[in-house]
């Protein structure tokens, strides 16, 4: 087992400096700049040491880069898919020229430093028995991702358990796969796998807003699937075959790109970031103007522009409703709208302009049924695995515990009967 200890020592020093010394010695935006400079020294040192030792960290395999990108996108897709049932949240990062110049290097340079040095370390590993060394490298990078404050808060068994489940285990799963990518393909491969989810987190206007327990399971499962698939599929004799298969599929790239862009627009539009919000009509209260399954595009407008006869969407008891405006009143500085469904016999209670989400500007007939069916299937599957199946196991276990004596007696009687019948048949054959 062979490993270069100079680079890990430098990373550890920079880690301690950026976590302990820099926050105490500097303030404000200067902290981001100094951190970026310190991590730049890791990049420069790694390149110099790699050249001195003739370690080929930039030599890569394009097929593995493509596979790394596929697995990274798959991981993002799973999180986005679950968010359709758990919700999305707006990104806290607000990018402008100033933040790009100061904050973005603070994010990007440590990522490059970590993956470049990871590649250098994996390339110094002996080819005979690399498993233990690759594991140690993965653990090292896992431990240097959380801040010192994360470790200082581990004061109780509960906090330690939450840290292991929430941070350490998911980070280790991703680190193992990134280290394996670096070992097989070089810097470009593991950087691709690590950078795509990072860029999605940094720049996407909305992000998956799912519980950390679910996020931890999702991360471990997706990384484990990627590791197993990579380990079983990527053999020296098979890389060329996989590359030929990917090359044949490149002609479909424009179609998949269009699908991805359409999906991205669909996701962003659900939060109103594009200026409109598509809403699926679920009831028949607005028939014949709006039918169940129709998609109505709701555009946010000034309340003063809404007129009698317009169809608006508003919140009522935490539930969005789409009805037609039948009357408008002004009380103080606020407008109040009375609405009624075209198929309803009575008007709704008046709602203030603060409750209005927007005005229906366009209707797409029946397209919403696709989303309704998919959501029902996915929601049913999620409910089955998170509620129905665990409940069935609990009931089975409770039944076994409650009726343990009965079940044990029944099994014993069955076994005893079988032995008697077997013995009787044996005696009959012996007489014959």
What's the mean per-residue pLDDT of the chain?
A: 79
283's tokens: 């009831």
CA distance 240 to 349: 68
Q: What is the pLDDT of residues 29-81, one digit of tens each?
A: 899 999 999 999 999 999 999 988 888 888 887 888 888 898 898 888 888 87
- List of long-range contacts for 126-132, beta carbons under 8 Å, 24+ apart: 126/1, 126/2, 129/1, 130/183, 132/1
Mean pLDDT over 239-262 rounds to: 52
pLDDT at 8: 92
The fraction of the chain above a pLDDT of 90, given in percent, is 26
The pair of structure tokens assigned to 388 is 């129905």
pLDDT digits (tens, 9 = 90+) for 374-383: 556 655 665 6
Token pair for 281: 């009509």
Which DSSP string corresponds to 362-385?
Answer: EEETTTHHHHHHHHHHHHHHHHII
Question: How far apart are alpha carbons 80 and 206 in whole angstroms?
Answer: 10
Q: How far is 261 from 254, CA to CA, in rounded Å? A: 10
Q: Return the pLDDT at 261.
A: 55
Strands (E), 51-145: 88-90
Residue 237 pLDDT grade (very low, low, confident, very high; cuts 50, 70, 90)? very low
pLDDT value of position 236: 47
User: E strands of 174-249, at which residues?
Assistant: 206-208
12, pLDDT greater than 90: yes
Among residues 232, 263, 131, 141, the alpha carbon closest in space to that of 194 is found at 141
| % of residues, the chain, pLDDT over 70 | 71
Closest CA to 190 of 205, 198, 180, 200: 180
Q: 69-111 pLDDT, tens per residue?
A: 988 988 888 888 777 666 777 788 878 888 888 899 999 999 9
Confidence bin at 198 (pLDDT 50/70/90): very high
Q: Which of helix, strand or coil describes residue 207?
A: strand
pLDDT in tens, 118-147: 999 998 876 666 778 888 899 999 999 888
* 61 token code pair: 């395999």
* Domains, the chain, ordered by start: 6-248 (no CATH), 276-366 (2.10.109.10), 370-431 (no CATH)
Pairing of strands 334-340, 276-280: unpaired
CA distances (Å), origin 112, targets 116, 310, 395: 6, 54, 51
Tokens describing residue 63? 């097929």
Output the six-digit token pair for 304: 């003063």
Q: What is the DSSP letter of 19?
A: I
Give dist(CA 310, CA 358) in Å, integer: 10
More confident residue, 417 or 21: 21
What is the Cα–Cα distance from 180 to 118, expressed in whole angstroms? Answer: 10
SS3 418: helix
Sign of CA dihedral 257, 262, 267, 272: positive
- Reported as a pLDDT band with limits 50, 70 and 90, residue 193 is very high
Instruction: Give the count of alpha carbons within 13 A of 217, CB side only.
Output: 6
Residue 238 clears pLDDT 60, i.e. is over it: no
Q: Phi/psi class of residue 273: alpha, beta or left (left: φ > 0; alpha: ψ in -120 to 50)?
A: alpha
- Distance of alpha carbon 116 from alpha carbon 178, whole angstroms: 11
């Amino acid at each position: 087992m062979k490993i270069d200890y100079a680079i890990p020592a430098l990373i550890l020093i920079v880690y301690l400096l950026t976590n302990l010394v820099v926050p105490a010695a500097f303030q404000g935006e200067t902290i981001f700049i100094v951190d970026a400079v310190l991590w730049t020294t890791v990049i420069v040192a790694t390149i110099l040491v790699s050249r001195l030792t003739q370690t080929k960290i930039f030599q890569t395999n394009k097929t593995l880069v493509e596979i790394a990108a596929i697995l990274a996108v798959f991981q993002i897709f799973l999180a986005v898919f679950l968010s359709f049932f758990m919700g999305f949240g707006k990104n806290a990062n607000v990018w402008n020229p100033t933040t790009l110049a100061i904050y973005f290097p603070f994010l990007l340079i440590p990522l490059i430093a970590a993956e470049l040095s990871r590649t250098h370390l994996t390339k110094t590993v002996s080819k005979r028995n690399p498993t233990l060394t690759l594991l140690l490298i993965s653990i090292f990078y896992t431990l240097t991702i959380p801040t010192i404050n994360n470790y200082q808060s581990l004061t109780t068994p509960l906090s330690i358990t939450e840290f292991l489940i929430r941070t350490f285990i998911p980070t280790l799963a991703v680190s193992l796969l990134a280290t394996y990518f670096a070992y097989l393909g070089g810097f470009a491969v593991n950087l691709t796998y690590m950078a795509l989810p990072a860029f999605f987190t940094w720049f996407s206007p909305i992000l998956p807003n799912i519980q950390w327990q679910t996020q931890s399971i999702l991360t471990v499962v997706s990384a484990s699937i990627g590791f197993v698939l990579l380990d079983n599929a990527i053999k020296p004799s098979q890389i060329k075959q996989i590359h030929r298969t990917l090359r044949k599929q490149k002609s479909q790239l424009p179609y998949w790109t269009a699908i991805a862009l359409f999906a991205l627009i669909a996701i962003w539009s659900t939060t109103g970031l594009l200026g409109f919000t598509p809403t699926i009509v679920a009831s028949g209260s607005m028939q014949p103007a709006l039918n169940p399954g129709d998609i109505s595009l709701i555009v946010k407008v000034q309340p003063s522009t809404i007129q009698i006869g317009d169809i608006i969407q508003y919140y009522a008891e935490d539930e969005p409703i789409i009805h037609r405006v039948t009357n408008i009143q002004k009380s103080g500085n606020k407008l109040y709208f009375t609405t009624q469904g075209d198929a309803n016999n009575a008007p709704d209670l008046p709602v203030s302009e603060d409750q209005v989400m927007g005005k229906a500007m366009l209707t797409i007939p029946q397209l919403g049924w696709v989303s309704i069916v998919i959501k029902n299937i996915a929601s049913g599957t999620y409910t089955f695995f998170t509620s129905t199946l665990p409940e069935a196991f609990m009931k089975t276990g409770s039944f076994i515990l409650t009726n343990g004596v009965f079940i044990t007696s029944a099994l014993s009687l069955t076994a005893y009967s079988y032995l008697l019948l077997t013995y009787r048949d044996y005696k009959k054959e012996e007489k014959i």
